[in-house]
Amino acid sequence: MDEQQVRLCKRLKGLGFTPGNQMKMYGLQFEVVSEPIVMGDDLVFVDVTEKRSGRPRRVRIPLPITNMARQTAA
């Protein structure tokens, strides 16, 4: 990871994308089980467990949140 991606991950963790946190995205309740995973400039994922079914999933962090974190991290 380059320095910009490290700053982005740090800011996303500050916004709650850290293991153990619970959040609602895409109309579902999740528990975060991993650090943010940067796959590209606008593509960031996080591993989660869906609360209702208990199924593990990898979900994309919504682009507006990624953009907000990127602006703040700069």
Average pLDDT over residues 12-34: 95
Average pLDDT over residues 51-68: 95
Is the full-model pTM beyond 0.85?
Answer: yes
Average pLDDT over residues 51-69: 95
Mean pLDDT (the chain) is: 92
pLDDT at 11 (0 to 100): 94
Residue 74 has pLDDT above 70, yes or no: no
Q: Are 68 and 10 in contact (CB under 8 A)?
A: no
pLDDT at 2 (0 to 100): 86
Average pLDDT over residues 8-13: 94
Q: Which CATH number fits domain 3-73: 4.10.860, 2.60.40, 2.30.30, 3.30.70?
A: 2.30.30
